[in-house]
Structure 1
């Protein structure tokens, strides 16, 4: 595949905002699947909880295999709108319609409902993949600048987390608020139906706004002359990604890092409810601290990239994440933390959650930015740019390990003999101590393993990145012109590596 590399240029704020805005769709979908779908289909629709879990698992496993296929075909698409935007535009309306259908199943027959849930859940996740994978692959194409890539991806994570969290807050505080008919608002079917409409419209709008807002950047993106590939060659290409050592280090680090985040997410309700003994309305407020942490993470990742480089900053934040995650428990056992019921306890924990979240999310942003740099390393080795394939590989990993955090939660609860149907304040102190000790040990181990493999990431900092780009530029300057490159983007002039118009090229 012949192509030109992306320009080393600054990306305008409007483009960054538009690019990041689209990840609201993924954030809403992710939070909906994690926090609402099981509750809705079990308590409202009446489907057995184990069947709902099985349906979600089937959709998750199949979706993990869809991502690399979408990424590979996106890499090999040739169209007037480039390689990414055709997929992004095509996904917008199906994402909204399918998400709406997900929350309006047929009822009365559990078998029919189960088949419906499996089919629509797969369709929703596939439609989201058709946007998310090409859109993620767009980041390294927007700019080859070492630090600018971290900034671009920071906006993506910021909007993704914000979209999911804001929608979750709106749902629990407003749409599922208690009413005279439903004192337990989480059992009100009307709230879920309203949620479905709002979420579907927001997801479609986010994708369209992002696609339209980045459309004018198509002229800056690499031009490719894709080769025809069979489905077998597609999967062989997926396997080849693991042959790139830089990709492999990020892949393995991600297994441990995302498992740690999943474990924290799953156990936080137990810890806040039974160890710190907070009521439900207070537990919900921790979302505010999480969002504050996401905003801080954006600054940490951008500043760290410019000041120290991606790898050293990534290692540092991945070590600090579990340290701050277990700090309140260590201080409580040392007698240095407020007791339950003390007015200082909640604000101190909010601060700690914000700090820990900032390090965890900063690690994710830096990992995605380093993955963007892997693209040039792979191009140097193979002569091909495969942004879609490499980012799809990371999505594949994330989805395969997303259930590990939940699984570990169940294992830990079983190991410490945590009682079922327990009332806050009545669980034995030794059980609670064993719970947070086991959780803390697992979190530290996972965090340190994630940091270790990032430390083994073989690509250097900015200087090495600049040398690699220069070598690729020299190689491209001796390459034959792209067949049909003048007609692929009619009426547009090619740009040089600095992003300036170059009519003579």
Structure 2
């Protein structure tokens, strides 16, 4: 079967379109911050379910995502409607996500431990499946909006900026009002309110973003409908995902997002039990995270214009590992300021801001590199499979709240961290074990991730050559190989 290739133009997008597109990532930011930062704490410290059990259940739900995400991407690639390939999925996901997210934080009071675990599993599956139906088609728009090498980094920078703003905005609301003064001591009802507020923000962000990018539908690539048997369809799917560059990015991303997931899940434990943060300090800390994300938004597109995206992703990943773990190592050596002293919080503020900037910049560059994989596959197979490839990327991101939470729960178990502990009641030896294991795992995963990023085979020269090849080869055989 022969089909015409459909490569988008190399163009710079208007600020309005960029903002509308980025706005949708607020939904994932709110969901991800909730899952990553508060879910383990809620079910463990508030509802009394053992941390390792919570982590295991959340990771089990992730197994289904390994099948759901590629299926959504594959079906999205093959969707043909007057609203294009992506927007029907985006509009249709808003209500299911909101309903599932509200239920996640409002388990019936009559449930015992087993009932709570079943509730957690079912709600996690519903939320993450519905999020897939939005996020996979939405992020697949990145290589469709422009084929310009630098513009794609800028697109991803907007997406990450809005995503972090959504997540941190929800965290700010939690610390200032909904879960104040200390999330670990907040009642069940407060978490139910947290879930309802988050659900409203998620639904609004999705619908506004979908409507704001709706006028771009006529400008998006329109590859012809692909027909064939179910067997041929699966053959095409597996041919696409065998791409070597895709596998490299998947492995690098798995390490990076698992690190982020562990950090999210343990952040409130570190804030309350290691650094003794409370009240206004937690608010200032959110501004440090925002400052770091905004810095990454500025620097990632700029460094990409002057060098290798893969090389900079390695540098930022290792930089984040160095900066983020330094306070823990220095604390063990007695060289970091003691919490409560005048020097402590200003220094910790800088550490958080710089470490976040490095981490987010690396994520932006890694995500923009996935667009190169799409066109490499198109040149080899004749099919534009944005949905399939970005589904893989999105699945890796979900490891933040799957493998990350599971490993965080294992770290708590190794440290013998007590269930239902209150700040100031945990002995120093337990705190030391917690920080040593966490920092060691972080550094190890960062080194593995850097290794994979360094093996990514494409840069600017390969991108330009590939576009030239695609432009000169309008018709290819896109049948099963």
Please give the TM-score of this superposition, normalised by the length of structure 2: 0.88
Determine helix, strand or coil for the equivalent of 1:451: helix
- Equivalent residues of 2:87, 2:214 under 8 A apart: yes
Paired residue for 2:302?
303
Paired residue for 2:380?
381
Distance 1:396 1:332, change over 3 A: closer
Following the alignment from structure 1 to structure 2, what is the Cα–Cα distance between the partners of residues 120 and 430?
A: 36
5 Å-filtered alignment, 1:375-414, equals 375-400=374-399, 402-414=401-413
| Residue 346 of structure 2 is aligned to residue 347 of structure 1 | yes
| Residue 64 of structure 2 is aligned to residue 62 of structure 1 | yes
Worse-superposed segment, 396-405 or 77-86: 396-405
- Equivalent residues of 1:2, 1:384 under 8 A apart: no
Q: Which has the larger radius of gyration?
A: 1
5 Å-filtered alignment, 1:74-89, equals 74-89=76-91
Cα offsets for 1:258-294 (capped at 9, x unmatched): 2222233334444444443434663564222122111
Determine helix, strand or coil for the equivalent of 2:31: helix
Q: How much has 1:45 moved relative to structure 2? A: 7.4
Paired residue for 1:474?
472
Paired residue for 1:464?
462
- Equivalent residues of 2:37, 2:268 under 8 A apart: no
Distance 1:235 1:62, change over 3 A: farther
Distance 1:232 1:293, change over 3 A: farther
- Equivalent residues of 1:378, 1:384 under 8 A apart: yes
Paired residue for 1:203?
202
Following the alignment from structure 2 to structure 1, what is the Cα–Cα distance between the partners of residues 99 and 418?
A: 41
Following the alignment from structure 2 to structure 1, what is the Cα–Cα distance between the partners of residues 437 and 39?
A: 29
Paired residue for 2:262?
263
Q: How much has 1:39 moved relative to structure 2? A: 5.4
Pairing partner for 1:130 from 116, 119, 133? 133
- CA RMSD between the two structures: 3.2
Q: How much has 1:46 moved relative to structure 2? A: 8.2
Q: How much has 1:105 moved relative to structure 2? A: 4.8
Paired residue for 2:28?
26
User: More relative contact order in 1 or in 2 (CA 8 Å, sep 6+)?
Assistant: 2
Cα offsets for 1:314-338 (capped at 9, x unmatched): 1211121111122334445666543
Determine helix, strand or coil for the equivalent of 2:81: coil
Following the alignment from structure 2 to structure 1, what is the Cα–Cα distance between the partners of residues 22 and 260?
A: 22
Cα offsets for 1:444-490 (capped at 9, x unmatched): 22112211111100112x232111111101112x679xxxxxxxxxx
Q: How much has 1:381 moved relative to structure 2? A: 1.0
Cα offsets for 1:182-222 (capped at 9, x unmatched): 99861151x34433433222211111111111111112211
- Equivalent residues of 1:61, 1:400 under 8 A apart: no
Distance 1:183 1:459, change over 3 A: closer
Determine helix, strand or coil for the equivalent of 1:224: coil
Worse-superposed segment, 340-349 or 392-401: 392-401
Q: How much has 1:370 moved relative to structure 2? A: 0.2
Following the alignment from structure 1 to structure 2, what is the Cα–Cα distance between the partners of residues 267 and 443?
A: 12
Distance 1:298 1:229, change over 3 A: farther
Worse-superposed segment, 247-256 or 284-293: 284-293
Distance 1:135 1:339, change over 3 A: same
5 Å-filtered alignment, 1:203-282, equals 203-228=202-227, 235-279=234-278, 282=281
| Residue 138 of structure 2 is aligned to residue 140 of structure 1 | no
Following the alignment from structure 2 to structure 1, what is the Cα–Cα distance between the partners of residues 115 and 426?
A: 41
Paired residue for 1:16?
18
Worse-superposed segment, 146-155 or 289-298: 289-298
Pairing partner for 2:165 from 162, 166, 180? 162
Worse-superposed segment, 440-449 or 280-289: 280-289
5 Å-filtered alignment, 1:363-378, equals 363-378=362-377
Unaligned runs of 5+ in 2: none
Please give the TM-score of this superposition, normalised by the length of structure 1: 0.84
Following the alignment from structure 2 to structure 1, what is the Cα–Cα distance between the partners of residues 244 and 52?
A: 39
Cα offsets for 1:392-422 (capped at 9, x unmatched): 0122233346433334334444555556676
- Equivalent residues of 1:106, 1:112 under 8 A apart: no
Distance 1:44 1:317, change over 3 A: closer
Paired residue for 2:448?
449
Q: How much has 1:3 moved relative to structure 2? A: 3.6
- Equivalent residues of 2:44, 2:419 under 8 A apart: no
- Equivalent residues of 2:55, 2:407 under 8 A apart: no
- Equivalent residues of 2:257, 2:396 under 8 A apart: no
- Equivalent residues of 1:28, 1:203 under 8 A apart: yes
- Equivalent residues of 1:7, 1:144 under 8 A apart: yes
Distance 1:130 1:419, change over 3 A: closer
Q: How much has 1:437 moved relative to structure 2? A: 3.8
Worse-superposed segment, 234-243 or 294-303: 234-243
| Residue 186 of structure 2 is aligned to residue 186 of structure 1 | yes
Paired residue for 1:150?
153
Q: How much has 1:430 moved relative to structure 2? A: 5.8
- Equivalent residues of 1:315, 1:451 under 8 A apart: yes
